[in-house]
Amino acid sequence: MTAIYASVVIFAILGFKAVSNVKSCEKDNEELLAQSHGLATTVAMGDHLNITGLRDCSLDRELDAAAEGTGLAFIVFTQAIVELPGAPFWAIIFFMMLLSLGIGSQIGILEGMLCTIFDIEIFKRVSKQYITATVCIICFFVGIIFTTGAGEYWLSMFDSFAGTIGLVVVAMMEMISVVYVYGHEKFTKDIQDMTGYKPGIYWQVTWRFLAPIIMAVILVSSVVSMVIKHPTYQAWSREEGDTVATPYPTWVLGIAISMILAGILPIPIVFLLRRYQILKMDINIHEGSIRRIDTTVSTKEMITDVDEQLTSPDGPCLTATNTLKNKFTIGDFEV
């Protein structure tokens, strides 16, 4: 929901900036025409642009010329906000929004990484504070490359490769495993058991047909586009005084491919490890078990000790021994 609200603000400011640039361009052309008195009548209308230095004031061109990456936030938006009435107020609001989006994304990414690490058997005896600190320090040193002189180019490369093809492959594999391997009927029943509502025909069609087809088309088109057209990035040209499209060097493409494979290869590797039980530390997925886990970053216990007495609001004090008499089942396991 936050991303939706942010996108409304972003596209609104981009449109405002493009319209403002077009009006400024037209005003400059009017001043140039007012100063041009000696044009010959035999000069073709199309040559007036070259003779007088008039610019092509096109809204489509202004929208296409919008900056990307950090330039979008710190160049285009800054210029647009300056032209708004009460610019300091809108500037503070806008950059506070960027700060909140960044902090929210950072918390979500770290939670996903740390919860996965906490579930690994070899890290369960290590204190969560040490694991969290180690992960944060590693991420800090990785982020240093974005603060160097070439940080903008590194950021562009990560944005172009790290979260595109690899993310689409992971999402498509997750969709296939849930809908076709686990079964959409079981998945629908699970949702109904947990929420009390059964997903309608729209969700059934989307999960079974639309989403896999759309993801497959996006994946194939992205790979074909990368093969046919050599990946490029916008590099600053001192001679031209503008950014020009420059092909990525071979060694940079090697790093980009490594980032893509780093997100894809764990899928077949873990499948083979679990299917053939190659590593002894890997548990047997065919042996079901229910265990109390503590996989959050917080150091506060999620579940109280089983020896603690449980007090019922309408009845006498209950102990953990009495509660064990009332057994129930979760799936195929009895608790």
What are 217's two structure tokens?
A: 């088309």
Q: Which residues contact 201 (CB under 8 A, 6 or more apart)?
A: none
77 CB burial (10 A radius; 0-12, 13-18, 19+): buried
Q: For residues 132 and 297, is the Cβ–Cβ distance under 8 A? A: yes
Length of the chain: 335
Cβ atoms < 10 Å from Cβ of 256: 20
d(CA 145, CA 165): 23
Q: What DSSP string describes 270-288? A: HHHHHHHT-STTSPPTTS-
What are 235's two structure tokens?
A: 């590099």
Q: Tens-digit pLDDT profile for the chain (335 aa)?
A: 666 666 676 667 666 667 777 777 778 777 777 676 555 544 455 555 555 566 667 666 666 665 555 666 666 677 777 777 888 898 888 888 888 888 888 888 888 889 888 888 788 888 889 999 999 999 999 889 988 888 888 888 888 887 788 888 888 998 899 999 999 889 999 999 999 888 889 998 999 999 999 999 988 998 888 888 888 887 877 776 667 888 888 898 899 889 889 888 988 888 888 888 776 554 555 554 444 445 555 555 444 444 444 444 554 444 444 444 444 444 444 44
Q: For residues 310 and 318, is the Cβ–Cβ distance under 8 A? A: yes
Q: What DSSP string describes 90-138? A: HHHHHHHHHHHHHHHHHHHHHHHHHHHHHHSGGGTTS-HHHHHHHHHHH
Side chain identity, residue 177: S
Give the pLDDT score at 19: 75
d(CA 86, CA 146): 32
Q: Can you say which residues are annotated as belonging to the binding site for Na(+)?
A: 101, 105
**Partners of residue 244 on adjacent β-strands:** 235
Taking only the tens place, the pLDDT of each residue in 251-291 is: 988 998 898 898 889 888 888 888 887 765 545 555 544 44
Q: Distance between terminal CA atoms of the chain?
A: 38
Q: Is the pTM of this model over 0.85?
A: no
d(CA 119, CA 296): 10
Q: For residues 200 and 295, is the Cβ–Cβ distance under 8 A? A: no
Buried b vs exposed e over 157-184: b needs ≥16 C-beta within 10 Å? bbebbeebbbebbeebbebeeebeeeee
What are 54's two structure tokens?
A: 């008039």
d(CA 252, CA 231): 10
